[in-house]
Amino acid sequence: MSTISILVLNGPNLSRLGKREPEIYGHLSLDDINRELARSFPDISFEFFQSEHEGSLAEKLFEAEDRGCFSGVVLNAGAFTHYSIALRDAISSVQLPVIEVHLSNVHAREAFRRTSVISEVCAGVISGFGANSYHLGVRGLLAKG
């Protein structure tokens, strides 16, 4: 049986998890979340990447597609979710299924967070389950086969 590989991609300000507005995003750091994800799915090979920069996220998506070893991507695009047409175009440029995830329930917050310019080109959306959103994103990818 070949190992399933999943890329977990995080956008701007998610490097500050644990310190950043813990009442909204919780007390775990991104490293804690990534470690816990790898521990929960021991049969999956994960690659983790975070960037504050729009272009770096797009480049990572292209690299992931070109390497040809990934089954899909779990993406928390942070604030880029709400306005980055460049990221949306990058997602729709690749064949890889991308699951959009958010720690917070973006629909229960400020009005500008209710708009996602990437949802339409993602394979699914998960929002509001804290660190578990990433786990559910992985489950969603596995369920899509």
Q: Are 72 and 96 in contact (CB under 8 A)?
A: yes
Say whether 83 is catalytic. Answer: no
| Shortest separation between residue 15's beta carbon and ligand DQA, angstroms | 10
Classify 101 as helix, strand or coil: strand
| Shortest separation between residue 28's beta carbon and ligand DQA, angstroms | 12
Q: Alpha helix (H) ranges present in 30-131? A: 30-40, 54-67, 80-83, 85-93
Q: How many positions of this chain bind ligand DQA (CB under 6 A)? A: 10
| Shortest separation between residue 20's beta carbon and ligand DQA, angstroms | 8
Q: What is the DSSP pairing of strand 4-10 with strand 72-76?
A: parallel
Say whether 25 is catalytic. Answer: yes
Q: Given candidates 15, 56, 113, 121, which one binds ligand DQA under the rule CB under 6 A?
A: 113
79 binds ligand DQA (CB under 6 A): yes
